[in-house]
């Protein structure tokens, strides 16, 4: 039973696009950055905390983490076919060592976009897969180049509301895509879920489970 521990519609769409059958169970954890925590440590910690929180909650509800099957047939070879498997993810943007999470308001979104304007920044997604007695954690990093933005462009974009629930205050798959001439690495990572990395981890967990069984 594969569970996506995220309310993000973008992650849900990407995971379905990759052919996985899954259920959604959003996680609720504190997403504040810890003192001295860098971006990689931040996203991998949150990914694991989200996955673990959902795994623990479902186990407490009486769902057997060893034997509960998928409720639908798996649609892709390599996806775990039995047992409770929880996938957590968290994405952030980093520039000059500064973590840009989701903006708190319009002014904060404009501030972030000014920081990104005319520069290359890094997008990082932490991925965690939690099963009974095991947690696999990894991260994907992608470089994203922005053209130089005018104040008017930033103001108009913020007014659309699109930046408000996005790390770094933009959506590459949305209107901001017109300002991004180059991506170095995994595009899907910038959207919110690095599909190749996720598949690799799930296949590894599947193989490890079969060996243990």
- Give which of 68, 74, 64 is closest to 22, Cα–Cα: 74
Q: What is the CATH number of the domain that holds 128?
A: 3.90.950.10
- Which one is catalytic: 64, 77, 90, 108? 90
What is the pTM assigned to this prediction?
0.88
| 213 residues of the chain, pLDDT tens digit each | 899 999 999 999 999 999 999 999 999 999 999 999 999 999 999 999 999 999 999 988 866 555 444 333 333 444 444 589 999 999 999 999 999 999 999 999 999 999 999 999 999 999 999 998 899 999 999 999 999 999 999 999 999 999 999 999 999 999 999 999 999 999 999 999 999 999 999 999 988 877 776
The helix (H) or strand (E) run that includes residue 2 is strand 2-4
Residue 162 sits in which domain range?
2-212
Asked if residues 51 and 27 have their Cβ atoms less than 8 Å apart, the reply is yes
State the total domains in the chain.
1
Whether residue 90 lies in the annotated active site: yes
């Amino acid at each position: 039973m594969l569970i996506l521990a995220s309310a993000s519609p973008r992650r849900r769409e990407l995971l379905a696009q990759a052919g996985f059958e899954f259920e959604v169970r959003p996680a609720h954890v504190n997403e504040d950055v810890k003192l001295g925590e860098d971006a990689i440590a931040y996203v991998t910690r949150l990914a694991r905390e989200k996955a673990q929180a959902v795994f623990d909650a479902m186990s407490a509800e009486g769902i057997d983490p060893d034997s509960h099957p998928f409720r639908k047939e798996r649609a892709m070879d390599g996806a775990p076919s039995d047992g409770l498997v929880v996938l957590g993810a968290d994405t952030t943007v980093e520039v000059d060592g500064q973590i840009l999470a989701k903006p708190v308001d319009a002014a904060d979104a404009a501030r972030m976009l000014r920081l990104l304007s005319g520069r290359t920044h890094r997008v990082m997604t932490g991925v965690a897969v939690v099963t009974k007695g095991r947690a696999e954690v990894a991260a994907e990093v992608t470089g994203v180049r922005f053209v130089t933005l005018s104040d008017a462009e930033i103001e108009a974009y913020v007014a659309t509301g699109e930046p408000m629930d996005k790390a770094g205050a933009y959506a590459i798959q949305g209107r901001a895509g017109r300002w991004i001439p180059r991506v170095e690495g995994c595009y899907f990572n910038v959207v919110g879920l690095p599909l190749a990395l996720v598949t690799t981890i799930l296949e590894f967990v599947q193989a490890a489970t079969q060996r243990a069984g």
